[in-house]
C-alpha cells in the first residue's frame, strides 16, 4: 500500500505562538504514524511562488494522512495554527 504525505508550505506570523501549535500537533501526528521527511531547512525557489517554511510528513497510508488532518485532535492544533501562521497543504498518495 502506498504511503501518504502532507506537503505543507508555511508562513509563520508569530513564532512564539507557533511553538504552541507544534506542541499541540505532537500527539495527533504520533497517533497517526507521521514521520517528518522535511522540516524547514535551506531551500531555493527555482520556479514559481513560495512560502518561508516547507514541511513534508510521511504517513503509513493516504487514508492515515487524511484521517490525521481531519481528526479532532489535529483540528484543535490547527485552531492554534490559524492564530499564528498561514499555509498551503496538499495530501498526496505516494508512488507504489
Residue 93's pLDDT is what? 98
The parent domain of residue 77 ranges over: 4-42+51-93
Residue 43's pLDDT is what? 95
Spatial distance between the Cα atoms of 40 and 38, rounded to a whole number of angstroms: 6
- What is the domain count for the chain? 1
Give the DSSP per-residue string, 15-60.
HHHHHHHHHHHHHHHHHTT-EEEEES------SS---SEEEEEEES
CA-nearest of 63, 73, 62 to 27 is 73
Residue 87's pLDDT is what? 97
Tell me, what CATH number does 57's domain have?
3.30.70.100
Is 71:28 a contact under the CB 8 Å cutoff? yes
3-state secondary structure of 84: coil
| pTM of the entire predicted model | 0.93
pLDDT 10s per residue in the chain (96 long)?
A: 899 999 999 999 999 999 999 999 999 999 999 999 999 999 999 999 999 999 999 999 999 999 999 999 999 999 999 999 999 999 999 998
Cβ atoms within 10 A of the Cβ of 32, count? Answer: 22
Amino acid at each position: 500500500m502506498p504511503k501518504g504525505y502532507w506537503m505543507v508550505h508555511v508562513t509563520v506570523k508569530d513564532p512564539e505562538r507557533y511553538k504552541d501549535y507544534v506542541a499541540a500537533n505532537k500527539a495527533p501526528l504520533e497517533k497517526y504514524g507521521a514521520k517528518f521527511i522535511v522540516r524547514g531547512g535551506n531551500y531555493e525557489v527555482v520556479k514559481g511562488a513560495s512560502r518561508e517554511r516547507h514541511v513534508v510528513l510521511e504517513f503509513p497510508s493516504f487514508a492515515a494522512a487524511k484521517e490525521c488532518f481531519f481528526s479532532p485532535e489535529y483540528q484543535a492544533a490547527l485552531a492554534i495554527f490559524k492564530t499564528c501562521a498561514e499555509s498551503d497543504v496538499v495530501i498526496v498518495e505516494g508512488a507504489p
